[in-house]
Amino acid sequence: MSGLGGKFLDYLYPKQCLGCDLWFSFGGPKFLCSVCEGLTINTQPILRRSVEGVIVYSRFLYSNQVVAKTVQALKYEHIFDASEVCGGWVSQIFERFIPEETVIVPVPLHVSRLSERGYNQAELICLAATQGRAIPVKTDVLVRTRKTEYQALLNEESRRTNVANVFSVNGVCDPCVNYVIFDDVVTSGSTMGDCARALRAAGAQKIFGVTVASTHGDVVAL
Ligand SMILES: [Zn+2]
């Protein structure tokens, strides 16, 4: 609920902060308490790194506990409000760094994991990030051809072999269009790299990556 009615309910029913689990109310920010919001304000630098020759922009370091908890709340605890928070964070990247004529391609889940979880968190964040903008989010471009172990449970070497050649592309890509591979988090870069290889093999020539968080990256000047 939004508007005055929603505000009234916020007043009556405090919310639990996604970042620290604290209960708060009385006109605070919607999903984060003021302390956690302070740790994720827009003045923090955007990060950039290169994965397989693709520039990947990330909004925050994954070592930021507020960010990690918010991403995990969406991914593992089915707290959908977290997609709005994450979407708000990455929308700045789309505004500032991603050119026109862009198609966003969320990293897909395998069909069995999609039916297990019921949604693709990367897709939900993309949709929240692009609300009100004419940037298409395409979920039928990349396909995950086999189920893989959770990357979070593996070391770097195993991550590479875990996702090697698991993505393919439906049809062909337009060499004039920018393809933005979107994921919630980039760690070793194995998933992002494999998606980029699949897109290139299908003819894409302009590829970027965008994530909410990254384990590392160079600071981009604000
Ligand atoms: Zn908090």
The predicted-structure confidence for 184-203, as pLDDT tens digits, reads as follows 999 999 999 999 999 999 99
Query: What is the Å distance from ligand 1's center to 115 Cα?
Result: 31
Q: Is 211 in the same domain as 116? A: yes
Q: Residue 186: which domain range?
A: 40-220
Q: Is 46 in the same domain as 131? A: yes
Q: Is 139 in the same domain as 29? A: no
d(CA 166, CA 195): 8
Residue 46 φ then ψ, to 5°: -80, 150
d(CA 96, CA 99): 8
Give, as one character, the DSSP assignment of residue 39.
T
Confidence class for position 57, pLDDT limits 50, 70, 90: very high
By DSSP bridging, strand 46-51 and strand 54-61 are antiparallel
Query: What is the Å distance from ligand 1's center to 121 Cα?
Result: 21
Query: What is the Å distance from ligand 1's center to 139 Cα?
Result: 33
Query: What is the Å distance from ligand 1's center to 20 Cα?
Result: 4
User: What's residue 190's pLDDT?
Assistant: 93
Query: What is the Å distance from ligand 1's center to 35 Cα?
Result: 6
User: What percent of the chain shows pLDDT beyond 70?
Assistant: 88
Q: Is 20 in the same domain as 73? A: no
Q: Is 60 in the same domain as 166? A: yes
- Rg of the chain over Cα atoms, rounded to whole angstroms, equals 18
Query: What is the Å distance from ligand 1's center to 29 Cα?
Result: 10
d(CA 12, CA 172): 53
Angle at 113 between CA 112 and CA 117, to 5 degrees: 125
pTM of the model: 0.87
Q: What is the pLDDT of residues 96-143, one digit of tens each?
A: 898 878 999 999 998 888 999 999 999 999 999 998 788 899 999 999
Q: If you average pLDDT over residues 33-40, what whole number do you get?
A: 89
d(CA 160, CA 158): 5
Query: What is the Å distance from ligand 1's center to 7 Cα?
Result: 19
Q: Is 162 in the same domain as 60? A: yes
Query: Which range is least confidently modeled, 48-57, 76-85, 132-141, 151-160?
Result: 151-160
Query: What is the Å distance from ligand 1's center to 23 Cα?
Result: 8
Q: Is 16 in the same domain as 101? A: no
d(CA 30, CA 22): 13
Query: What is the Å distance from ligand 1's center to 36 Cα?
Result: 4
**How many residues appear in the chain?**
222
User: What's residue 24's pLDDT?
Assistant: 79
When divided into structural domains, the chain yields a total of: 2
Q: What's the whole-number average pLDDT of the chain?
A: 88
Q: Is 111 in the same domain as 69? A: yes
